Amino acid sequence: MHATSLIVGSHFIASTGVKEVANWITVLDEFFHDVPIVQFLHHWENVVFSLTAAFFLITVSFLATRKTSLIPGPLQNAVELAVESLDQLVAGILGPKGRAHTPFIGTLFLFIIIQNYMGIIPGLKAPTSNLNTTIALATCVFFYVQAIGMKENGLIGYVDHLMGSPRDLVGWIMVPLFLPLHVMEEFIRPLSLAFRLFGNILGEDALMGAMVVLGIFTLSFLHSPIGLPLQFPFMLLSLLLGTIQALVFTLLSTIYISLAMPHEEHGL
């Protein structure tokens, strides 16, 4: 029973050497590893939980907007408050015309924060604790920023920006230096977003996993199937840190969008 508790309490991530709190897929894989559907779920574990977060957001959005009224109910009121807050955040950085980017930035924030919170719920997992997930999110930001840069500046203006906007002889001489540096910068920005989010969320999950194991070992002399809930204070801390990490990812993405726009068209 004690060994089973340790299996359920945490599982080992071979790729990173980190223990995380087990979720329902890893528990199934431990006991039914040879079942094809379980192998499939375990292989695509992070995708499954990412889709779970997406399905949750879609469901909430559908229920909140299905029957809108002048006197909103609790769900509609909460969704309207979230949308209004995100819209004000975007407008504060990009200016009034930047509100066109609120759907993308707002969806990005909500999707990340829901995934971060999933690591706190027993039986679930935060997909953002996996580098593949955060790189996928950062890739979306990368292509969105490049598309906005080309749309707002035109192809010539976009290339001019990458070259450092040379306007004199010295500027043109520096193009061979500025162009590769700016191109590298465009790739490094989303990579920094991905690694920052991944590292912080994985660290939180690893800490909770360690506390779960420690809690089980604390009562091991009683042969108890459960342990002390030592992870509970860290779960509360993860609520705060998960929000901060989602906000940091979103704010930096918004700033990257502002840098890709013509300076005279946003509120910087």
152-162 average pLDDT score: 85
CA–CA separation, 264 vs 268, rounded Å?
Answer: 8
Contact indicator for 124, 23 with CB cutoff of 8 Å? yes
Contact indicator for 53, 111 with CB cutoff of 8 Å? yes
Residue with tokens 């906000």: 247
Helices 102-118 and 74-94, packing angle to 10 deg: 120
Distances in whole angstroms, Cα of residue 69 to Cα of each of 59, 63, 174, 220? 18, 13, 59, 56
- pLDDT, mean over the chain: 84
Residue with tokens 């004690």: 2
In the chain, the number of structural domains is 1
CA–CA separation, 22 vs 44, rounded Å?
Answer: 15
230-258 average pLDDT score: 89
The two structure tokens encoding residue 138:
């950062």
CA–CA separation, 96 vs 262, rounded Å?
Answer: 14
- Full DSSP string of 201-240: HHHHHHHHHHHHHHHHHHTGGGT-SS---TTHHHHHHHHH
Among 43-57, 79-93, 211-225, 240-254, the least confident range: 211-225
Which residues span the domain enclosing 163? 2-265
* CB neighbour burial string for 226-237, b if at least 16 within 10 angstroms, e if fewer: ebeebbeebbee
Position 228 pLDDT exceeds 70: yes
pLDDT bin (cut points 50, 70, 90) of residue 265 is: very low
Contact indicator for 241, 200 with CB cutoff of 8 Å? yes
Position 151 pLDDT exceeds 70: yes
